[in-house]
Amino acid sequence: MSDGITHPLEDDDGPAETLWAGTGRASKREDSERQSLAQILNLIRNGTANTRLELERISGLGRAIVADRLETLNQLRLIDEDELGHANGGRAPRTARFRESQALYLVAVLEQGSIGIAVSTIAGKLLLEHHEPLDALAEPAAVLKRLHTLFDWALEQHRKDRDIWGIGIALSGPVETSAGQPFASPHLPFMPGWEGLEFVESLVARYGAPCWVRSKIEMMTAGELLAGSAQGAHDMLFVDLSREISAGLVLGGKLFKSDQGRAGLVGHIAVGEDTTTLCKCGNVGCLEAVAGADAVARLALQAASGAQSPHLAEMLQADGEITAMSVGTAALMGDTVSAELLSRSGRHIGNTLAALTNSFNPSLIVIGGTMAESSDILLAAIREAVYRRSHPLVSRDLRIVRSKIGASSALIGLARSVADEVFAPNILPRWILQGSPVRNKDTEAVVAAIRTAVTRSARNLPPPFERTPA
């Protein structure tokens, strides 16, 4: 990065080359102007510098060039330069501020059993979020239709004639990092029914903006790093205890991303001597199958039906179902069977995390996901097992905490990830002179072609959500 600060989500060499936001072809002089504009905008956007003096010092550009570029950025409505900064004797300097509210991102996290959406500023600050349950067995086309409906609703609340500059979607499962192409659906072998759905194309066509797909675990980890319990952490392990169990890793302050996007499948590490519990991956004895939310719910249902736990039986009668959350509630109300189920699950998870702790020596483990919300008993059992089973040298200063930002973590991580794509040093110079990554002829041509290609009627989707004319 040219601005000299650490960007926890970005790859060292920026996102993969794509053809969006223009080709970037320009004369040498114009190219130099674009580069310096992009450099100054990113310094202001990242909060690295906001006065002319600081911009000159950090960018190495001359006073006249900085003044000229600030004027251009002002005219492009990308910054405001009105407020007065701190005076070090003499007149207070004017400060430049990134106009983060001039456009929006749409982000969504799709999980088995729920959907969460948000609208954010182009700095990645969430303006509105909504989460709702979704039938875990819902057809992919129905899920996509619901996503469109919720995005449309969110825009009705917050659009105010603003353009959408990017869309981010997080999915439960490994998404290849090479899925950096923002106009085509990635290969999703782990999501039956989604192959060939062209969901990225449908979102691009509907909202006129590029769309990036990311793995949920990576985005949750990023969100924790940006706004959650792991803010500023150097080496951190984030564990998502939902229907699936997966982990994200932060090493040296940066999110670890494997090329194939499949790192962190800790739910498929074998636990104990279990040789009978079949996992959906085809193996037996996987952590997820033995100690995940579905396993806890299944064992609780047996306890409720077999009259071992009157508490659980009562819950089953009242709600018609037993979930890991209801087991947590029953434990809180003194049900010993539920408490033991959560302890058992926590011990298995803790033993697995102890092995990871020995391997990576994180200073912090953040436990998130729906199971983490269920009970303190689970967290206590995880802690106890990790501290007992990991080497004293790695557990001495280790903290284990519960996530406090829930499913918002993925939305926060996504909004930042989209911002990193839109303002990437190799992308920003392409569109900066137009003042918008979506209002240039190259992007508009790609979007128009996708709109023509998308066969909406076959997918039973609502008509496109029209962009307001400039």
Partner 1 sequence: MNKPVSGLGPHGERPAPASALKITEEQAAELNARRYTVAVALHTVGSDWSRQVMAGLAATLGRHSAAITEVADCHFDSVEQSRALERMLMQRPDAIVSIPVDNAAVAEAHSRIEAAGVKLILLDNVPTGLMPGKGYTTMVSADNFGLGQIAAELLAARVPARCTIGLLGYDVDFFATHERQIAFLRWMETHRPDLKVKQSKFESKEKAGVAMEQLIDSTPDLAGCFVAWDEPAVRAMAALNARKLNIPVTTVDLGNDVAAALASGPLVGGIAAQRPYDLGVAAANAALLSLIGSPLPTWIALRGIPVTRENVLEAYQLVWHAPAPLQLRNAVRQRSHS
For position 332 contacting partner 1 by CB under 8 A, the verdict is yes
For position 127 contacting partner 1 by CB under 8 A, the verdict is yes
Instruction: Indicate which single residue of 3, 54, 129, 240 sits in contact with partner 1 (rule: CB under 8 A).
Output: 129
In sequence order, what are the residues at sequence separation of 6 or more whose Cβ sits closer than 8 angstroms to the Cβ of residue 408?
116, 118, 126, 129, 223, 227
For position 380 contacting partner 1 by CB under 8 A, the verdict is no
- Given a contact cutoff of 8 angstroms between Cβ atoms, the answer to whether 288 and 267 are in contact is yes
For partner 1, the binding residues in 206-245 under the rule CB under 8 A are 227-229
| Least distance in angstroms from the C-beta of 141 to partner 1 | 14
In sequence order, what are the residues at sequence separation of 6 or more whose Cβ sits closer than 8 angstroms to the Cβ of residue 160?
none
Question: Which residue's CB is nearer to partner 1, number 105 or number 431?
Answer: 105
Question: Which residue's CB is nearer to partner 1, number 36 or number 323?
Answer: 323
| Least distance in angstroms from the C-beta of 370 to partner 1 | 5
User: What are the Cα distances from residue 150, in Å, to 147, 161, 183, 214, 269?
Assistant: 5, 18, 21, 19, 36
For position 393 contacting partner 1 by CB under 8 A, the verdict is no
User: What are the Cα distances from residue 396, in Å, to 233, 385, 391, 400, 470?
Assistant: 17, 14, 8, 12, 58
For partner 1, the binding residues in 408-437 under the rule CB under 8 A are 408
- Given a contact cutoff of 8 angstroms between Cβ atoms, the answer to whether 92 and 112 are in contact is no
Count of residues interacting with partner 1 (CB under 8 A): 40
Instruction: Indicate which single residue of 63, 280, 388, 404 sits in contact with partner 1 (rule: CB under 8 A).
Output: 404
Question: Any alpha helices (H) in 255-367, and if so which ranges?
Answer: 287-291, 293-305, 310-319, 324-332, 336-360
| Least distance in angstroms from the C-beta of 343 to partner 1 | 17
- Among 442, 371, 443, 414, CA closest to 169: 414
Cα 150 to its chain centre, rounded Å, is: 18
| Least distance in angstroms from the C-beta of 373 to partner 1 | 6
| Least distance in angstroms from the C-beta of 389 to partner 1 | 24
For position 97 contacting partner 1 by CB under 8 A, the verdict is no
Query: Quick count: other Cβ atoms within 10 Å of Cβ 375?
Result: 26
For position 406 contacting partner 1 by CB under 8 A, the verdict is yes
Q: How far apart (Å, rounded) are the C-alpha atoms in residues 249 and 357? A: 11
For partner 1, the binding residues in 143-172 under the rule CB under 8 A are 146, 149-150, 153, 157-158
For position 126 contacting partner 1 by CB under 8 A, the verdict is yes
For position 314 contacting partner 1 by CB under 8 A, the verdict is no
Question: Any alpha helices (H) in 99-238, and if so which ranges?
Answer: 140-158, 199-207, 216-227
Residue tagged 């499913």 (tokens):
407
For position 370 contacting partner 1 by CB under 8 A, the verdict is yes
Strand, helix or coil for residue 147: helix
Question: Which residue's CB is nearer to partner 1, number 185 or number 323?
Answer: 323
Question: Which residue's CB is nearer to partner 1, number 135 or number 444?
Answer: 135
Question: Which residue's CB is nearer to partner 1, number 111 or number 218?
Answer: 111
- Given a contact cutoff of 8 angstroms between Cβ atoms, the answer to whether 263 and 290 are in contact is no
Q: How far apart (Å, rounded) are the C-alpha atoms in residues 335 and 311? A: 6
Q: How far apart (Å, rounded) are the C-alpha atoms in residues 7 and 48? A: 12
Tokens, residue 274: 């279990």
CA atoms within 13 A on the CB side of 166: 27
Tokens, residue 229: 């319990």
| Least distance in angstroms from the C-beta of 424 to partner 1 | 25
For position 181 contacting partner 1 by CB under 8 A, the verdict is no
Instruction: Indicate which single residue of 89, 90, 133, 196 sits in contact with partner 1 (rule: CB under 8 A).
Output: 133
Instruction: Indicate which single residue of 94, 97, 130, 451 sits in contact with partner 1 (rule: CB under 8 A).
Output: 130
**Window contacting partner 1 (CB under 8 A); options: 64-72, 326-334, 343-351, 382-390:** 326-334
Q: Where does this chain bind partner 1 (CB under 8 A)? A: 109, 114, 116, 125-133, 146, 149-150, 153, 157-158, 227-229, 318-321, 323, 325, 328-329, 332-333, 370, 373-374, 376, 404-408
